[in-house]
Structure 1
Amino acid sequence: MAARPDVNASTQPGPLAAASPSLPPRGGVRLRALVLIRWGAVAGQLFTAAVVHWGLGFSLPLLPVGGAIALSALLNVAVSLGRPASARVDDREAAIFLAFDVVQLAVLLYLTGGLTNPFALLLLAPVAIGANVLSLGSNIALSLLTIVSIALLGLFHQTLPWLGRPPEFPEIYQAGVWVGLTLTALLITLYGWRLAEEARQMTDALAAAQAALAHEQRLSALGALAAAAAHELGTPLSTIAVVAKEMLREVEADDPLREDIELLAAESDRCRSILARLSVDPAGDVSDAYTLVPLPALIEAAAQNYRREGITISFESGPMGEGVPTTAPIQVRSPEIMQGIGNIVQNALSFARQTIRITTRWTTEWSEVEVSDDGPGFSEALLDELGTPFISTRQGVEGHMGLGVFIAKTLLERTGASVSFGNRGGGRDGAIVVVRWPNPVFKAT
């Protein structure tokens, strides 16, 4: 079966391209967040050292332990003074910041028993933070540093602080702690980064969808302004035209002012014709953003801006079953529907060979629009993932971000519709996208 190579929007510039040509780069993490986390770590380390040494009576190497904690605090002060707390650090700076925390914790654990210290689990804290804020490469580097630190602590460390003779842990137990910490660091990195990355992708995709919708709403507002201007200017222009005609009748043919009056009358007629076109041209007038129109007419209006030479777009409509009104249901001409259907048609044009068929059907329980093409069909490997962001085999190439279908699905679902994807004839006859709304509204009701 031929595989449809992409599910992104078309190669033609459209509303999406105009509204959101590219996503802004991710801005890393705020310095304030990392500084506050480290201050919490410094406070916890000081409290723990004080309780262990003076509260429980365990003997700690206070000078080296205090020095390691003080170094962390001094570095925090230096970072805070050098840059404003609201500044955002990039991926490399955040990775270095967390790598220092791993090394500082490893030094403290080396001084206090290594992996036999119950607080060895704290080595996983920087890894967990990094999984949410760092890139994959930085996460791998931070995880490798943590794993190396765990391995070294398993081999080299000072005696665990204890009252009397320290306990002797079996080697198999110490090896198990090393394996457990190592595997946990890897799992936190892989699963934490994967989940955080999906959340970031969804945020980026929703931002792109909002930008596309805002673009369509701005067009609607501009159309409404044009319609209001046409309405308000119609009366004074009519008055000017009447006065100009009266002046023409009063002025003699050889009067030097006659030429100017004729020009005034001609220009007023020209303005009236321009305003008339704004009022009656359905292709250029988007002022009826909240007008109820028949569903087939709405779909045709949404698709007409994407016609392309060499590809035929045919429209069909009609009721399904008996006892169904022959007149089409009415629908709100909203920016969501215009943008969503437009994106679906735009995507179909990218893969159609000769024809695209848009069929509008309705019953008393639902109304639907089916967009089908004679292209290669959707890839079976991607069919279940369609409608999620950044699904595209051309992702990152020529601005294709895999957001066209996601934006269309998101916007149409905001109108109460459900969107499904499939192939005709097992993918041999092209792709099908079906948009269905429940509970259609007919003009008679």
Structure 2
Amino acid sequence: MEMTNRKNLMLLVQLRWLAVIGQVATILIVHYGIGITLPLEPMAAIVLLLILLNGATLARLRNEKPISNVGLFMELLLDVAALTAQLYLSGGAANPFVLLYVLQISLGATLLDTRSTWALVVLASIAFLLLMVFNRPLLLPGGDADEFFNLHVQGSFISFALTACLLVLYITRITRNLQERDAHLADLRRQAAEEDHIVRIGLLASGAAHELGTPLATLSVILGDWRRMPVFRKNEELADEMAEMQAQLDRCKQIVSGILVSSGEARGEGTIRTTVRDFFDDAVLQWRASRSPAKLDYDNAFEPDAAIVSDAALRQVLFNLFDNALEASPAWVGFSVSRQEDKLVVVVRDAGPGFRPEMLESFGKPYQSSKNRPGSGLGLFLVVNAVRKLGGMVSACNNSRRGAFVTVTLPLAALSGTDRHG
């Protein structure tokens, strides 16, 4: 709302500059071109006041003070007062440029609340009525009534054309500002809904982790007992399979522990500090050991290194991106880490078929996936929202020939513990 008011106030400043130029041109044409005597000094003073008002408004825009409805109302009210003063000095209500009141009221109806708009209508109407009684009459050279009528008709057309053009120009731009504001509000509501969705997913994951803890512990005990039994120890093939089962079971327990750590329920070991290079080296080593990709090109070009807090959520973000790339491209996955000033840039590449156009348009939204199975598409959704909570952004793009890449950009302050978002 504040940004929209600032944009609209800037439009009023631009309109006022046009009014200054138009008034100067009209005064010079009427006084020197047509020969109608005008009080140049007071009319020039009003133009100067409009210039000073614009200067004050621009200074106000440079400040961080909020722009309220009252502020916009006062700006329009001063414009109405300046227009009234100029009309008073140039024929009053008989001046064809009295139609410019409609422009001011139309702007008020677009920018102000209902009460302020009606107040502006009442004040402009009172000004119009006063101009019918109090004004400085225009004196034509020779006093020809027909000539005055012709000039009035011509002035009315110019006033109509000017008002119509300015209305179309500025109402269109103001409407665009309002549409941008509405789109921003809709985006905020969507983000709030997505975060609520993530909270529900997190609660379900945490609950599932608690529930899985007991059966996993039971299975671990049973497997330990089986491995000590002579019938299994004598059979090398069974012993190897039991060892593999134990390794997979240990991995499941690590995943469950990771879920609980991410949800803030198992932080007994305290905060772990590391560096960017070590964090990504360790994450890649862990993912490579658990997934065994055919080929992984890893380039850690982050220089100079920086201290960060080891973040389980960021590690899971990486694993989700790696898993998606590996599923799309089992033969090759590329991963690079670099630094751009105070930002961390992570790029995950694959040589798969790439993203479909509709997936790129809705990238990061839940359940947007080419995998035809229940629950698919949540991985990238969680990735985008986890990165957004850290103050970063995620983008996706297809390569020109084949494959795709996903880029994650994060502020280092969000990882160092000095500026934690969310």
TM (norm. structure 2) is 0.41
Q: Which has the higher helix share?
A: 2
